Amino acid sequence: MEKFYKEVLMNGIKDMIFILEVVNNDFRFQFINTAAMERLNLSNQIIGSSIMDIEPMEKAKFLYKQYSKVVESQKSYTYEDVYEENGIKYYAETDLSPYFDEKGTVDRIIAVVRDITHERNALSNAMEMISGLAESNERYHSLFFHNTDGIFILNKMGYITDGNEASEHITGYKIKELFGQPLKELLDKEDTGNFDNLINKALKGTNQSGDLIFKNKNGDQVNIIFKIIPLIIDEKIIGLYGILKDVTEQLQSINKLEESEKRFRIIAENAHDLITLVNKDEEITYVSPSYKNILGYYHQEYLKKSFLHNVHADDQERLVEIVRNSISSGEPFTIQFRQKNAEGDMIWCESIGNPVFNHNNTFQHLVVLTRDITLRREYESKLKYFAYHDSLTDLPNRLFFKEQFAFAKEQFLTNNTPLALILLDIDHFKLINDTYGHDTGDAVIKEFGSRIKSSIRDHDMVARLGGDEFVILLSNIQSSNNAIEIAERINHAIRQPWKLNGHTLTVTTSMGIALASSQRTITESSLMKKADIALYEAKESGKNCYKLYNVNSSNLPSYTHKKTKL
Same-domain check for residues 84 and 160: no
Same-domain check for residues 213 and 359: no
**Residue 518's pLDDT is what?**
63
**Residue 213's pLDDT is what?**
87
Question: Is the residue at 566 inside a domain?
Answer: no
**Residue 117's pLDDT is what?**
83
**Residue 262's pLDDT is what?**
61
Could you give the 3-state DSSP secondary structure of residue 392?
A: coil
Same-domain check for residues 277 and 330: yes
- CA atoms 293, 298, 304, 305: torsion sign: negative
**Residue 321's pLDDT is what?**
94
Rounded Cα distance between 369 and 58, Å, is 41
Question: Is the residue at 513 inside a domain?
Answer: yes
Question: Angle, nearest 10°, between helix axes 117-136 and 138-145?
Answer: 100
Same-domain check for residues 427 and 446: yes
- Write the pLDDT tens digit of every residue in 473-526: 998 887 888 899 999 999 999 999 999 999 999 999 999 999 886 656 678 888
Same-domain check for residues 358 and 238: no
**Residue 252's pLDDT is what?**
43
pLDDT tens for the chain, 566 residues long, are 556 667 767 777 788 889 999 988 899 999 898 888 888 888 888 899 998 888 889 888 999 999 999 999 999 988 888 877 777 888 889 999 998 988 889 999 999 998 888 777 776 676 666 555 444 555 556 666 777 888 888 998 889 988 888 888 888 899 888 888 888 888 888 888 888 899 899 898 889 888 888 888 888 888 888 899 898 887 888 888 888 887 755 534 444 445 655 655 555 555 568 888 999 999 999 888 888 888 888 878 889 899 899 999 999 999 999 999 999 999 999 999 999 998 999 999 999 999 999 888 899 999 998 888 888 887 777 888 888 999 999 999 999 999 999 988 888 888 877 889 999 999 999 999 999 999 999 999 999 999 999 999 999 999 999 999 999 999 888 788 889 999 999 999 999 999 999 999 999 999 999 988 665 667 888 899 999 999 999 999 999 999 998 555 444 344 444 444 43
The domain boundary residue, chosen from 217, 246, 269: 269
**Residue 134's pLDDT is what?**
46
- In degrees rounded to 5, what are phi and psi of residue 11? -125, -15
CATH number, domain of 459, equals 3.30.70.270
**Residue 442's pLDDT is what?**
95
Same-domain check for residues 220 and 143: yes
Same-domain check for residues 99 and 110: yes
Query: Which secondary structure element, helix H or strand E, spans residue 212, and what is its range?
Result: strand 208-215
- Write the pLDDT tens digit of every residue in 99-141: 898 888 999 999 999 888 877 777 667 666 655 544 455 555 6
Same-domain check for residues 475 and 392: yes
- In degrees rounded to 5, what are phi and psi of residue 388? -105, 0
**Residue 221's pLDDT is what?**
85
Question: Is the residue at 251 inside a domain?
Answer: yes
Question: Is the residue at 105 inside a domain?
Answer: yes
CATH number, domain of 103, equals 3.30.450.20
Same-domain check for residues 244 and 163: yes
The domain boundary residue, chosen from 48, 80, 115: 115
The domain boundary residue, chosen from 334, 353, 380: 380
pLDDT more than 70, % of the chain: 86
Distances (CA, A) of 378 to 8, 83, 503, 519: 11, 33, 40, 43
Same-domain check for residues 259 and 283: no
Q: Are 492 and 454 in contact (CB under 8 A)?
A: no
Amino acid at 238: I
Same-domain check for residues 259 and 293: no
Q: Which residues are tagged catalytic?
A: 468
Q: Per DSSP, what are the bridge partners of residue 236?
A: 233
Q: Which long-range contacts (CB under 8 A, 24 or more apart) does 100-108 make?
A: 100/74, 106/22, 106/70, 106/71, 106/74, 107/21, 107/22, 107/399, 108/19, 108/20, 108/21, 108/22, 108/30, 108/387, 108/399
Same-domain check for residues 107 and 146: no
Q: Per DSSP, what are the bridge partners of residue 474?
A: 420
Could you give the 3-state DSSP secondary structure of residue 181?
A: coil
Domain count, the chain: 4
**Residue 327's pLDDT is what?**
92
**Residue 301's pLDDT is what?**
86
Kindly give the pairing relationship between strand 88-100 and strand 106-115: antiparallel
Question: Is the residue at 135 inside a domain?
Answer: yes
205 in the Ramachandran plot: left (φ > 0), alpha (ψ -120 to 50) or beta?
Answer: left
| pTM as predicted | 0.41
Strands (E), 247-342: 274-278, 284-287, 333-340
Structural domain of residue 545, as residue ranges? 388-550
